[in-house]
Amino acid sequence: MNSVKIAEMDWVSYRDRVKHGRCKIVMPVGAIEQHGPHMSLNPDVLIPEHIACRVAERSGNMLVAPPIAYGYKSQVKSGGGNFFPGTTCVSGRSLEEYAYDVILAFMEHGNREFIVINGHYENSMFLVEAADRAVKHARLAGIELKVVLLSYWDFISEATVGKVFPEGFSGWAVEHGGVLETSIMLKIHPELVDMSRAVDIPPAEFPPYDVFPPDPSWVPESGTLSSPSKATAEKGEWILDECIEKIAKTFS
């Protein structure tokens, strides 16, 4: 039971590790969302959980919480939209309340610092609200929490982007189910990627607004917003190495 995953520890070992608030709790939050016909529905869960574990292993003072698997509703221009079969999302308030409660539950064990690693763009603002409310509620009880909130892709440098997309980068906005996420999954869960089913499409283009109910005709049929065809496990490794190193260095 020598793990950084809290779920796999017994409570006595956990208690001894977190004593005196000396551990940071790393919380992966993801989504169950289509990522094209070539990939499983859970990259937004597995990637932040993977990064969290690697970062925790390096840091020595972090433990990884069980991921929150269901995230906020997929939006057309960032995740293809909430109408794809398999995309299985919760309301903003459910996510907010659930994450808020989880932070406060870990606080009860004496933990004071949290690093929330988000794997699904649409979660961001609801996690902001959860973190802000948790910090303020804790303060009423005389406890000072510190909650860091990050999306792992924000740690990728332009240099790495250049290496991963040698023919030019279409922008983060269309990196849903594209080279970035597919490469990472090829590295960490190749069994959940089937490149023979990858659909080669030009980057999606969207009007400068959103519409509800969403219009499925805006989205490429495959569900990805750009082509995953040039994804490789090696590219995944470059990306992960950078994210993991930087995150570990920043927060240890």
Written as six digits, the tokens of 128 are 């902001």
Which of residues 141 and 166 has its CB atom nearest to a copy of itself in the complex?
141
Q: Whole-number minimum distance, CB 125 to a copy of itself, in Å?
A: 4
Q: Whole-number minimum distance, CB 186 to a copy of itself, in Å?
A: 14
Helix (H) or strand (E) holding 63: strand 62-64
| Count of other CB atoms within 10 angstroms of residue 174 | 22
Written as six digits, the tokens of 24 are 């940071």
Among 21, 159, 197, 205, binds a copy of itself (CB under 8 A): 197
Which of residues 142 and 166 has its CB atom nearest to a copy of itself in the complex?
142
**Region 103-162 residues binding a copy of itself, contact defined as CB under 8 A:** 105-106, 108-110, 122, 124-126, 128-129, 131-135, 139-141, 145-150, 154-155
98 forms part of the interface with a copy of itself (CB under 8 A)? yes
Q: Which residue has the tokens 């005389």?
A: 142
* Gap between the Cα atoms of 250 and 12, Å rounded: 29
Which of residues 166 and 217 has its CB atom nearest to a copy of itself in the complex?
217
Among 20, 166, 167, 209, binds a copy of itself (CB under 8 A): 209
238 forms part of the interface with a copy of itself (CB under 8 A)? no
* Gap between the Cα atoms of 252 and 84, Å rounded: 39
Across the strands, what pairs with 64?
Answer: 5, 26
CA dist list (Å): 178 to 148, 150, 233:
27, 21, 13
Active-site residues, by number, are: 33, 35, 44, 120, 122, 176, 181
